[in-house]
Structure 1
C-alpha cells in the first residue's frame, strides 16, 4: 500500500497577519493623526468572555488618557519593535506577512495634498526589512480605520466625499 503524503507546494505562502491599528502603537508619533480606532476605549483588568470585554468599550470624542485605556495607543509597539518582531517571525519559517497601512500615519487628517514623509519612511523600512528576511509583504490598504477628522466632518463611509478621499490617498501612495 502506497502512503499518500500531502505536501504544500514550495511557493505556498506560510505566514501570518497583522492590522496596523492593532499592532503599531505609536498613535501620536511622527505626525500620525487620530484614527477612529484611536478613540475606542478598552477594559483594564480581567474579563471572562469576549462579550464581557466588548460591553465595556466605547468611543470617546476626545482622547482622555487619564480616565480611559486605549488599546491602540501602545498595542505591541510594532512601530518601534518591528525589526525584532520580523526576525522572530522569519525564524519560525514564515514567508509572508499580511499587514495594513495605517491611513492616518500617511495622511494624518485624510485630506492632505501630500503624504506624511515620516509615515512613508516607516513603511519603507518595514517592507524593506520584510524583503531582507525573505518575507513577502501582503498589504491590506485599510483595516477597520479611517481618520477621525474625516469621520467627524463627513460622517464616515456613507459620505461620497470620504470615499473620494480614500481613493485619492491610494492613488497618491501608488
Structure 2
C-alpha cells in the first residue's frame, strides 16, 4: 500500500508541475493606454469599469460593483478623463517605485473619473499633470465634472520601469 500511495503522490506532483509549466507558457496581451503624470507619459491597462457604455466602447468588463468603492475611506482617486479623447487621461498618483516596493500609500488602481471639458473659444493645449488640470479650471479654460464612474486601471509602466512581463 505505501508504494501505491507514493505513486499517487508522485503522479499528483507531476500533474501539478505540468499544469504550472503550461500556465507559465501562456501569455495574455492587453493594450497599454497612455496617461500623463507630473509631465511624463505613464502606461496603464484598462480592464474594468462601472459604466456599461464605456465598457462596451472599450471592450472591457462592465463591473457595476466598482461604484460601491466610492464610500468614504475607500482608496479611490480622481482620474481626469477627456471625454472627446482630445488627450490622454491625467493621473494624480502612480506606484513609487513601480512594483512590490511601492511606498505611495495614496496610489490605487481604482479611479473615479472626472470629465474634463474644454470651454468654447479656448485654444486646446495638453494638460500633463493634476496641477495643470486644476490651474486650467481656475483660469476658466475647462469645466470639471466628477462622475460616479469607477475604473480599474493599474499603472504598469512609468519612469523607465515596468511590471514583469510588460513590454
The answer to which structure has the higher strand fraction is 2
Q: Determine which structure has greater relative contact order: mean sequence separation of CA pairs < 8 Å that are 6+ residues apart, divided by chain length.
A: 1
The answer to which structure has the higher helix fraction is 1
Alignment TM-score, normalising by the size of structure 1: 0.23
Q: Give the number of the structure whose alpha-carbon radius of gyration is greater.
A: 2
